[in-house]
């Protein structure tokens, strides 16, 4: 199977997020891909003082769930739906807000290669029946809403609305059955309450945060946490960044540089922080310029960098709230274009960025925390 196909399968919401709402991930099991300090103290500290509260490190209500790394392209985890429980592998996607899995009534090719939910076998299933359509960068699902008990490890979300797909386009051969979105409820389909919000309202955790640690190059070791953070997964302190709008996990960036020179985002720009996207995306012209600066060659629609030269290349540095976040280089470029139809200079910071930086998503204070991952 080619790397390009794997990328398509895992980057479910890359281009949809900029123009519309997209999908999200919960307990993830990550699967490997072929690719492997100064701050602006006044503004940041004022923000932190106004929104300060202590994140739990060992709260009994903090839940940690394993994710599997699929070829460094996406991170997946298992959930169950119904009574008795039926198990599904889903992507935990910070770029969208809907949960969906295939319905037993879905008969197209994508559904035949994945586990389907048989609602007739669940004693707790309710069928509101509203039709839904969810769009992603890699495809579309159409179906209807249902309601049932959804479990993520020991966390149980009762009367949880979720989508049941009857038609799927673009998900043939994908390594996951469905998607669990972790974005804000304002972008969910038909006003359905997202899983995280339902768990929050039902008292599943005391602090409304979730966090990701994404492993590098190995299938095991990745986790998603709910209700607190575990300091063993990051170094130093979390640097907090306000969310630009409480719809997506969207933040402001100051600039992007290489070798001390600004190469993009020269007047500031916006970036989605997205566990549902494999790489780093922006408009084609900006990405092409960065790939040229990396001396990357275009090979079969992908930019490749000499593996011998990777260690000597200067990093591409993302400056966010006055903090520099260098992005590690690989033999295959981590920068891809395609967002220009929705926004001239919006960036998507996907898994390749988040593998380097432990990330905390704080719903109470609408902010994201970043720190170097261990």
**What positions carry a catalytic annotation?**
93, 274
CB-count burial class (<10 Å; 0-12, 13-18, 19+) for 53: exposed
Task: Kindly tell me the burial class for residue 38, based on how many C-beta atoms sit within 10 Å of its own C-beta (0-12, 13-18, 19 or more).
Answer: exposed
The rounded distance, in Å, linking the Cα atoms of 136 and 19 is 10
**Beta pairing class for 131-135 and 140-152:** antiparallel
Q: Tell me the C-alpha distance between 140 and 110, whole Å.
A: 11
Find the radius of gyration of the CA atoms of the chain.
20
Per DSSP, the residues of 56-114 read PSS-TT-EEEEEEEEEEEEEEEEEEETTTTEEEEEEEETTEEEEEEEBTT--SHHHHTS
List C-alpha distances in Å: 201 to 64, 197, 204: 19, 6, 8
- Look up tokens 């599904």; give the residue: 88
């Amino acid at each position: 199977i080619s790397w390009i196909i794997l990328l398509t399968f895992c980057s479910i919401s890359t281009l949809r997020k900029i123009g519309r709402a997209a999908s999200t991930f919960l307990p993830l099991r990550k699967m490997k891909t072929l690719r492997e300090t100064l701050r602006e103290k006044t503004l940041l500290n004022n923000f932190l003082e106004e929104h300060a509260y202590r994140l739990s490190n060992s709260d009994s209500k903090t839940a940690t769930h394993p994710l599997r790394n699929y070829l460094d392209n996406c991170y997946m985890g298992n959930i169950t739906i119904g009574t008795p429980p039926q198990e599904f592998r889903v992507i935990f996607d910070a770029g969208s807000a809907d949960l969906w899995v295939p319905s037993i009534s879905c008969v197209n090719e994508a559904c035949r290669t994945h586990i389907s939910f048989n609602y007739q076998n669940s004693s707790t299933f309710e069928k509101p029946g509203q039709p839904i359509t969810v769009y992603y960068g890699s495809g579309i699902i159409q179906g209807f809403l249902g309601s049932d008990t959804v479990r993520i490890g020991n966390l149980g979300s009762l009367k949880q609305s979720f989508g049941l797909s009857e038609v799927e386009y673009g998900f043939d051969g994908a390594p996951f059955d469905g998607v669990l979105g972790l974005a804000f409820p304002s972008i969910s389909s038909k006003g359905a309450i997202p899983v995280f919000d339902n768990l929050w309202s039902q008292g599943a955790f005391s602090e409304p945060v979730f966090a990701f640690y994404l492993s590098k190059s190995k299938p095991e070791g990745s986790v998603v946490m709910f209700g607190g953070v575990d300091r063993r997964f990051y170094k130093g302190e979390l640097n907090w960044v306000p969310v630009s709008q409480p719809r997506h996990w969207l933040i402001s960036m100051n600039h992007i540089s290489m070798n001390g020179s600004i190469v993009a985002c020269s007047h500031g720009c916006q970036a989605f922080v997205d566990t549902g996207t494999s790489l780093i995306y922006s408009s084609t012209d900006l990405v092409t310029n960065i790939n040229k600066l990396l001396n990357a060659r275009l090979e079969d629609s992908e930019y490749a960098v000499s593996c011998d030269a990777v260690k000597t290349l200067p990093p591409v540095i993302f400056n966010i709230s006055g903090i520099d976040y260098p992005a590690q280089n690989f033999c295959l470029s981590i920068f891809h274009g395609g967002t220009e139809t929705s926004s001239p200079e919006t960036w998507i910071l996907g898994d390749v960025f988040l593998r380097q930086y432990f990330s905390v998503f704080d719903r109470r204070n609408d902010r994201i925390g970043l720190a170097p991952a261990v």
